[in-house]
Every structure is written in C-alpha cells, then in structure tokens.
Amino acid sequence: MARSRRAKNEVNAGSMADIAFLLLIFFLMTTTIASDKGLAISLPPKPDPNEPPPDVKFNERNIFKVAINSADNMAVEDERLDDISTLKNEAMEFILNFGNPNAEAQAFFNTLVPELKAMSKHDPNSSEFPTKPAVISFKTDRGTSYEKYINVLDELQGAFYEIYAKQLGVSVDKVREEMEPTLREKYNELKKFIPMNISIAEPTKIGGN
Amino acid sequence: MSKFKKKTSTSQEIPTSALPDIIFMLLFFFMVTTVMRENDLLVEQNIPKAEQLRKMQKKTLVSYIYIGKPKDTNKYGTEPRIQVNDVLIQPDDVIQFVNQEKDKLSEAERDQITMAMKVDTEAKMGIVSDVQQGLRDANALKVLYTSLKESEMDNL
C-alpha cells in the first residue's frame, strides 16, 4: 500500500460516468416513442360540385370486387370467401393477369421477373393490364367491423407490395420503408405500370348506425 | 521516446470527475424530452394488427384521431365515439378540427397533413367513414390507419 501515503481524499468518480451511461442507454432503449406505424391510404379528393363526376366506363373484367357485409362476411368477385389468406394471391393474379395488354403493357410484361410472369394467366375474364382501368374495388358496410376492414385492406395492399418487392428483387419490408435513391427511382417507374389502385367505396347502409 | 519523457513530470490524467455530470445532463435531457404523450384517452383503444405497415414520414405533420367505445360508459354511452385532443366530438366537428390542425402548420405543409386514425377493433365502419367524409371535406386526404405489427401482441 505504497499509494496510501499520498492518497488524496477523493472518491474515484471515473466510473460514475459508466453508471450514468448505463442509465442513459437504458432510457434510450426503453422509451419507445409511440411507434406510429400503420396502413397508409389517401382518400379521394372531394368531388367538385361544378363538375359532373367523370364518366369512366369500367369493364366488368377490370374490376376486382371485394365486399364485406355487416356480419363481416367477405365476398370476392361475388363469391363468398371465408379464408382471408387466399385473398392476397387472388388479388395478385388479378393484377398480373395481362388478359388483353396494349403494346406498352406488353412491353412492360416482358420485363417482369419470371416468378411474376408465371402468375399471369391471361384469363379473358380477368383484368386486361394493371394500369387503369384495372382497379380493386373494396366495399364495406357501415356495420362492418374495423378489424375486418383493416385485415382485408392489409391483404390487398400486401398483394401490391409483394409484386413490387419481387420485381425489384428486395424484401417486402424494404419496399415499404425508406429506399435508397436508385431503388426509389426504379420503384416509381414500376408504380407507373402497376399503380396501387385500391378504390375504397363509401360504405353501404344496411347494417350499423 | 526519451525525448518526450522529459515532459512527463506533469500529471497526464484527464480530470474525469466532471464526466458523470455531463452524462447526467444528457440523461435528464432525454428523460425530460421524451414526453410519452398519451393524452388522456377517453375511449378504449385496442389497435388492430396488420402486416403492411409504413412509417410516418414527418411527425410534425401528423394529427391524431381516436375512435372507440368511451371508457366512461355512464357519461358517454356505449357507442363508439371520436376523440381529438382531449375531447369527444361529433363527426361534423372533424372539419373544424382539421382546420385547426392545419393552422398550426406552415402554408406549404398544409396539404401534407396526415391524419393518423387510431381506431378500436370493435368500432364499426360507419363512424370511420363519417370521419373520413369529414377529412375529405377538409381536404386532408392522407390517412394512416395506425396498426401494430402482427407480432407485437401487447397493445399500446
């Protein structure tokens, strides 16, 4: 104990920093700044009263109809569907059907990755090509529960994100999160050909208040 | 090395006694600023789960609308209600609320306003649709249905 001879009356405070650091890191980790994540949609703009609604002629084959009634039963293309897990696939097949593509859509079709090409059935009764006028129509009732609505909307959006992810060769999570500029550019280009056309109709008034 | 050794008569220790204070300041700063703003919820919130979640781009542009069954059922009844800030409102008041929120933003950002809807799973689409109608009228077209990741079982 040679040191004790010239020991100063000081507490070794160096490790205090470590303790404080631990506390700091603990608080940094535990305070989840209320993670605000969710399904993003954009509402259609308010119709202009001076302008009549655009008279769009939708061919029946270009509409993928999803409806939920007030008892939370779902109908897809006028047929009852209880198993929600198959909805995503059906939606993807609809989007990628390419039943009657125009020249531009055909050119785009040729650039698809093989996996997506394989999903294309060229069914004459399904969509012609993914850009307008093909649209997914999603109708609910005022009595439909919000949970069911979110679940179905989740699947429908998932169908689009999965297509985007497969075509870009990245994970689905990556498509939804921030992307690096080069990928973002590709993504925007892709969205021109496969826009996320989910039309959420005003609910019917059969059930609920 | 011997060249430098001459100078070492002075203590080379850096005084570290002030370091804890600095770190503590940081700690307090974080403790104070992370406001866990859970503005008193008057409605029940059982947020649905989903997979295709997207993060909010800019926090300042976000306003919250809560929908759910009132907690105080004696006072407000059992039907789902809409809460903004700290009050329950009627669907017609949504426009006014949006305009208030828009006034807080700068001119350029007003159209970017995002409405985060925190809706209870039990709520019906009727009330949600009424609110959305109000949002459309107020020209706040970006909506985020706040949901939890499928794996996160506990609700906020």
pTM reported for the whole predicted model? 0.76
Contacts of A44 in chain B (CB under 8 A): 136, 141
To 5 degrees, how large is the angle CA B53–CA B93–CA B122? 45
Q: Which residue among A19, A20, A146 places its CB closest to the CB of B128? A: A146
Tell me what pLDDT residue A47 has: 74
Helix (H) or strand (E) holding B31: helix B19-33
Q: For A2-16, A150-164, B76-90, B122-136, which range has the lowest pLDDT when averaged over its residues?
A: A2-16
B53 close to A155: Cβ distance less than 8 angstroms:
no
Is the CB of residue B131 less than 8 Å from the CB of residue B94? yes
Look at residue B152 and tell me whether its pLDDT is greater than 60: no
Q: What is the pLDDT of residue B124?
A: 86
Task: List the beta bridge partners of residue B119.
Answer: B67
Instruction: Report which listed range, A101-105, A167-171, B18-22, B33-37, is most confident.
Output: A167-171
Instruction: Provide ipTM, 2 decimals.
Output: 0.73
Using a CB–CB cutoff of 8 Å, tell me whether B129 touches chain A. Answer: yes
Q: How far apart are CA A102 and CA A123, in angstroms?
A: 15
Measured between CB atoms, does B38 come within 8 Å of chain A? yes
Whether residue A30 has pLDDT greater than 60: yes
Q: Do B50 and A38 touch (CB under 8 A)?
A: yes
DSSP state of B150: T
CB–CB of B55 and A202 under 8 A?
Answer: no
User: Is A39 in contact with B147 (Cβ distance < 8 A)?
Assistant: yes
Q: Does B86 touch chain A (CB under 8 A)?
A: no
pLDDT of residue B56: 75
Residue B77 has pLDDT above 50, yes or no: yes
Distance CA B93, CA B98 (A): 9
Closest chain B CA to residue A176: B54
Which of B31, B39, B51, B131 is the best substitution to test chain A (most A C-beta atoms within 10 A)?
A: B51
Mutation target among B56, B117, B119, B129 for the A interface, most CBs of A within 10 A? B129
pLDDT band at A1 (very low <50, low <70, confident <90, very high): very low
